[in-house]
Chain A
Amino acid sequence: DTEVTQTPKHLVMGMTNKKSLKCEQHMGHRAMYWYKQKAKKPPELMFVYSYEKLSINESVPSRFSPECPNSSLLNLHLHALQPEDSALYLCASSQTGTSGTRADTQYFGPGTRLTVL
């Protein structure tokens, strides 16, 4: 089973709202990732959690707040977003974050399409 699930599939929110995106995997993976993808662009890495600790934050604005409650779950809390934050948000996981080995092969969820009004 190489499934990563994400909820919700679609989200529309106002600039004053607070919402959360959820990601779950049951493959025993210990590294999880958030990416942001704008239309017709490649995904851009936002955050990496390795063994439930934040290991990479790619200078993401503080209106995006990640959380890893346990090794299977990854949340992205959203607050005071801007219309330019509208995008597809992708979650991924890998067995470990050990670069250079097959264990860091990434598996992606289907994404959450976020629209900020």
Chain B
Amino acid sequence: GIQVEQSPPDLILQEGANSTLRCNFSDSVNNLQWFHQNPWGQLINLFYIPSGTKQNGRLSATTVATERYSLLYISSSQTTDSGVYFCAVATGNQFYFGTGTSLTVIP
């Protein structure tokens, strides 16, 4: 199956800092989503972004499908941004989650 690697695996930020999370995938994909999993386990949709760039408030994402990677930018981080960030890709009928980035934002 397709390999989906995320980096860094762990990230600790001071409140107000900016960060970039990366998602690399090993084959062509039809779909790519970014999720935030809060400490209670809820997966929250951030972006549907198989290609191109999107922005939503302090978050933005860019996918370069031809080079098989996607980036998630978090600006002016807040403590509520803490949790695990996953990218997930789909190819055919198969869905694969990345390895995740665990983000801790400290006041």
Contacts and interface: CB of A to CB of B under 8 A. Distances in A.
Interface of A: 2, 33, 37, 42-45, 48, 55-56, 88, 90, 92, 97, 99-102, 104-108, 110-111, 113
Interface of B: 30-31, 33, 35, 40-45, 48, 50, 86, 88, 90-100
Given A43-B97, A106-B45, 16 more contacts: A37-B41, A42-B86, A42-B99, A43-B86, A44-B97, A45-B96, A48-B95, A56-B94, A90-B41, A90-B43, A99-B31, A99-B90, A102-B48, A105-B33, A108-B43, A110-B41
B41 A105 contact: no
A65 B104 CA distance: 37
Contacts of B33: 105-106
Chief secondary structure at chain B's binding surface: strand
A99 B97 contact: no
Nearest to A55: B93
Contacts of B45: 2, 105-108
Contact of A108 (B30, B42, B93, B96): B42
A97 B94 CA distance: 10
A86 to B, nearest CB: 14
A76 B29 CA distance: 29
Contacts of A101: 31
A111 B42 contact: yes
